[in-house]
């Protein structure tokens, strides 16, 4: 997998373009936000996350889906339990993943961040394959966007405290940071 800096798309991974994005107001990329998601909640490998980020989620397939049917959200990346990586939005564009958020004294983190969704829940351990893929992706993003540093890799819970809890206590931050130092 290799980032094409001119397009903001990685080559060698699955592309599943989302309509839920717009232009970054200043073009700045200086924060990486880690999230979790599973659809239906707690179920993995369903393909529903991809459908959700493309506004194609069939609301009659699960009661929870009717609760989120009107949301228009996306992330730049999604890492499944087996380590498969999908990109939904160019790194050069603003994905709609952070919502009401604040980091380092600034609101609207979508304006200057990249969002990575880990397939999971707050309380279930993430897989070795997910950590390996997240490390590989993060290393390339750190190289491509030097304004992102390890101090600027945060959870959704950190930028939207009280509103969001992901990636949750099951996410091993020390493991991620240790692998980025190798």
Question: Which residue among 28, 117, 119, 136 is the active-site one?
Answer: 117
Contact yes or no for 66/59 (Cβ under 8 A): yes
Cα–Cα distance measured from residue 32 to residue 113, given in angstroms and rounded to the nearest whole number? 5
Q: Is-contact 134 79, C-beta < 8 A?
A: yes
Pair 83, 127: CB distance under 8 Å = yes
Per the rule left: phi > 0, alpha: psi between -120 and 50, beta: everything else, 151 is: alpha
67 annotated active-site:
no
Residue 155 forms beta bridges with which residues?
Answer: 34
Burial class (CB in 10 A: 0-12, 13-18, 19+), 7: exposed
Active-site residue set: 117
């Amino acid at each position: 997998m290799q980032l094409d800096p001119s397009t903001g798309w990685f080559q060698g991974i699955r592309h599943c373009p989302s309509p839920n994005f717009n232009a970054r107001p200043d073009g700045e990329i200086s924060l990486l936000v880690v999230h979790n998601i599973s659809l239906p909640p707690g179920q993995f490998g369903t393909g529903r996350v991809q459908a959700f980020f493309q506004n194609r989620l069939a609301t009659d397939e699960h009661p929870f889906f009717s609760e989120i049917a009107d949301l228009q959200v996306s992330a730049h990346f999604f890492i499944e339990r087996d380590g498969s990586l999908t990109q939904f939005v160019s790194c050069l564009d603003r994905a709609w993943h952070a919502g009401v958020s604040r980091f380092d004294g600034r609101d609207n983190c979508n304006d200057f961040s990249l969002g990575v969704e880990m397939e999971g829940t707050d309380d279930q351990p993430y897989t070795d394959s997910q950590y390996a893929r997240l490390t590989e992706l993060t290393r390339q993003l750190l190289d491509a966007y030097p304004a992102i540093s390890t101090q600027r890799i945060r959870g959704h819970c950190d930028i939207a405290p009280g509103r969001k809890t992901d990636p949750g206590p099951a996410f091993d931050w020390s493991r991620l940071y240790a692998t980025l130092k190798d």
